[in-house]
Amino acid sequence: MSLQPAENNLLLNGDFSRKGEHWTPNSPAKVEYSEGYCALQVYAQITQRVTFEGGGDFKFSVKMKTDSGSACQATVVMHPSKQSKQLDLGGGMHWTEKELHFSAPADTEHMEVELLANDGASGVFGSRFDDVVLKRL
């Protein structure tokens, strides 16, 4: 889709232009990278860890698309507090950009961004993600 400037995005390869580089899948066979986005089968998840010091205000955004009967979520988890913020998309949706603003605790050492296909038919790449951005405001 669109290329996010690296200096603004704390995530690496948030546009999937380099396929799965910098992302860790829980089940590689259920993850597919094509045409600059990531597609997941049900219960597949990819994660990326971002290390930095201190809290502050952040923006988390992602474009998501789902087939009918599928659903997906994008979550950012702050550590060590384990506080999380989540964006969800139900089934049968065209590309939809979702975003949220949040404050991270002062003792935050790192965050993990998790992209998950949490519903859908087995063996179908029914949830798609693109332009995943985490930036400090």
Q: pLDDT digits over 1-52, tens only?
A: 444 445 689 999 999 999 999 999 999 999 999 989 999 999 999 999 999 8
Domain 24-114 has CATH 2.60.120.260: yes
Mean pLDDT calculated for residue range 105-121: 97
The backbone torsions φ and ψ at residue 28, rounded to the nearest 5 degrees and listed phi first, read: -50, -35
Domain boundaries, the chain: 24-114
For residue 7, give every residue at least 6 positions away whose Cβ sits within 8 Å of its Cβ, in sequence order, or none. Answer: none
pLDDT at position 6: 53
